[in-house]
Amino acid sequence: MRVPYVASLIARRVQSARTFRSLQKCRNFSVSARHDSELFSELKRRGFVADATLPEALQNALESAKQTVYAGIDPTAPSLHAGHLLYLMCLFRFHIAGHKIIPLIGGATGLLGDPTGRRTARDPANKSIVEGNVASLETALRKFFGDATKYAESRGISAKSAHSDLEVKSNLEWHSKFSMLDFFMVVGNNARLNTMLNKESVRTRLTSKDGMSYTEFSYQLLQAYDFYHLYRKHGCTIQVGGSDQWGNIVSGLELIARLEGEETADNSAETRSTSRCFGLTTPLLTTASGEKFGKSAGNAVWLETKLTSPFSFYQYWILTEDKDVESYLKLFTLLPDAEIEAIMQQHITAPHQRTAQRRLATEVTELVHQKSGRELAEKATRLMFGDAGDMTADEVFSALQGDPRLVLLDESELIGARLFSLATEHGLVASKSEARRLGKARGFYFNQDVIAEDRSLERADLIEGRFAVLRAGKSNVLVVGLKERP
């Protein structure tokens, strides 16, 4: 963005007729006929809406025209994880209802680090790592929405927006061309310090021991400009984010209002009321036990197979607590309300059977890993309980790829190894004495047979000549297999 363009932006603020036409163009982006009269109500009913600016106007906008919706994703890792699923599914709801969606990766803002919810500064980001994460996330996002579309179609739901309409963007695309002078003239000149200081994320940091850097303080302005840029260049009228992003979303709405010459007031609520764009926040999820959603034993539950196996992903949902399972069925599946109600009635009748959790795991695993991944996860679950069934070695290795319960060893390490030693060395049991105790109690299994005394693993023990299964108790399992020869 160069200075002549900056001057034109400033001039537009006093040209009310021109402003009105530009707003109308954005407001009526694409079709003008009624579009979807149920979407906003459905989002609220299913639990996606924590808050929204101008709810009635937002509902009218969704009913009257095709809208463009975006949500931001920080490139702090090369993969998506279960914590991203809430607003990805919210975006997907807009997509299948016929609206255009833009998943936005923070290639620029990721270098700064969002201070929201933090009492201390983030460590400086490595530019090359962030760039690599941006590229990986772009691929991951395209895969997610492609697989989600297949999942929807398998459930009898056809997306009203073509998959080709999906645009994955990085905000580095425009921020890298934005000089410091341009930034101050366009964004800084239209930001109000008292409003910025009143943001909760800022107040929290200013009262902390370490204070807040100017870089972190300015983060909200960069995110605000993202909304403005997408509004001007792509007709984007709605931003979706977690409820902790409310302040940043409002900053974007205020910037749009000022730069587009809308009449504004000092009161931020009145400022938002004049905007033709909207913000929608999703709730911040924690489990019934208070643990952060998307974590398992302190680790993120990744959507990437190499980081979290389909089996481990499936198991995460199986372990959902009873208090959470109904809301998760509404948020993370496309099952109709009536079917969810029937599932919950069955679950209440016999909660020990975990009917609702099993259906949740089935649906979400197929959403993320397609039917083939879901089938492998279900087979691997049977394997964990002593029933390898008809699983081939390739299926076992694929289902448990990246899972610590699968250990591949060289032939010299596996053939002839003592079973209790294998169990101890690879974490199935804490010690050989515990293995011996389980053996005497008939609680140590090898390929479904009870092993009372320690013995060596022989080549003939390997299923298909490639793997064997050790189990301690009911569900603690270790699968040992031969590494493929180079």
pLDDT band for 425, please (50, 70, 90 cuts).
very high
For residues 330 and 384, what is the distance between their CA atoms, to the nearest angstrom?
A: 28
Distance from C-alpha of 155 to C-alpha of 111, rounded to nearest angstrom: 40
pLDDT given at position 37? 64
> Regarding predicted confidence, which is higher, 109 or 238?
238
270 pLDDT higher than 70 = no
Q: 279 in helix, strand or coil?
A: strand
**Whole-number percent of the chain with pLDDT over 90:** 57
Inform me whether the pLDDT recorded for 448 exceeds 90.
no
CA 120 to chain centre: 24
The helix (run of H) or strand (run of E) holding residue 68 is strand 68-73
According to DSSP, residue 161 is labeled: S
Residue 402: what pLDDT?
A: 77
Distances in whole angstroms, Cα of residue 282 to Cα of each of 48, 116, 246, 249, 341: 5, 15, 10, 12, 22
Quick one: average pLDDT of 437-443? 94
Helix, strand or coil, per DSSP, at residue 200: helix
Regarding predicted confidence, which is higher, 267 or 119? 119
Cα-based distances in Å from 351 to 290, 315, 328, 358: 21, 17, 16, 11
Q: Where do we find the tokens 């270098």?
A: 111
Superfamily of domain 406-482: RNA-binding S4 domain (3.10.290.10)
Does 10 have pLDDT greater than 60?
no
Q: Tell me: pLDDT of 164 over 70.
A: no
Mean pLDDT of 327-351: 97
Instruction: Report the distance separating Cα 138 and Cα 304, nearest Å.
Output: 13
CB atoms within 10 A of CB 88: 24
**Range scoring the smallest mean pLDDT among 30-39, 224-233, 360-369:** 30-39
| Whether pLDDT at 397 is above 70 | yes
CATH code, residues 295-385: 1.10.240.10
For residue 396, what pLDDT band results from cuts at 50, 70 and 90? confident
Give 459's pLDDT tier (boundaries 50, 70, 90).
Answer: very high
| Per-residue pLDDT at 11 exceeds 60 | no
Count H helices and E strands in the chain, helices first: 22, 13
Pick the CATH number of 3-282 from 1.20.120.1200, 3.30.300.30, 3.40.50.2000, 3.40.50.620: 3.40.50.620
State the Cα angle at 326 between 324 and 331, rounded to 5°: 90
444 has which bridge partners? Answer: 472
Residues, the chain: 486
Residue 480 has pLDDT above 80, yes or no: yes
Among 162, 154, 163, which Cα is nearest to 374's?
Answer: 154
379-391 b/e (C-beta count within 10 Å ≥ 16 → b): bbbebbeeebeeb
pLDDT confidence band for 31 (50 / 70 / 90): very low
Q: Check: CB of residue 26 under 8 Å from CB of residue 235.
A: yes
Identify the pLDDT of residue 291. 77
Give the pLDDT of residue 78: 94
**CA–CA dist 67, 98 (Å, integer):** 9
Domain with CATH 3.40.50.620 in the chain: 3-282
- Residue 486's pLDDT band, with cuts at 50, 70 and 90, is low
- pLDDT higher at 2 or 307: 307
CATH 1.10.240.10 range(s) for the chain read 295-385
Ranges in the chain annotated CATH 3.10.290.10: 406-482
Please give the order of strands across the beta sheet that includes 444-446: 406-409, 476-482, 467-472, 444-446, 449-450
**Predicted pLDDT of residue 268:** 47
